Structure 1
Amino acid sequence: MLLDMIPDMPDMIEECKMWAPKSYQEHFADSTFKDKLLAVEAYDRVPTKFRRPFEETINHLNTLILGGVAKLEEEIVNGADPALTTEHVKAISRAAQALMDCANAIIHGSNRAMAQVEIDGLLGGT
Structure 2
Amino acid sequence: MSWQDISTAPAPGTVVCKIDEVEGVKALDLAGFPLLVVRDADGLRGFVNLCPHQYLPLDYQGTRILSADGARLICSSHQAQFDCRTGAVIAGPAGCGLDPVPLRQEADRVVIAEG
Fold agreement, TM-score > 0.5: no
Structure with higher Rg: it is: 1
Q: Which has the higher contact order (CA 8 A, sep 6+)?
A: 1
TMscore range, shorter length = under 0.3
- Answer 1 or 2: which has greater strand percent: 2
- Answer 1 or 2: which has greater helix percent: 1
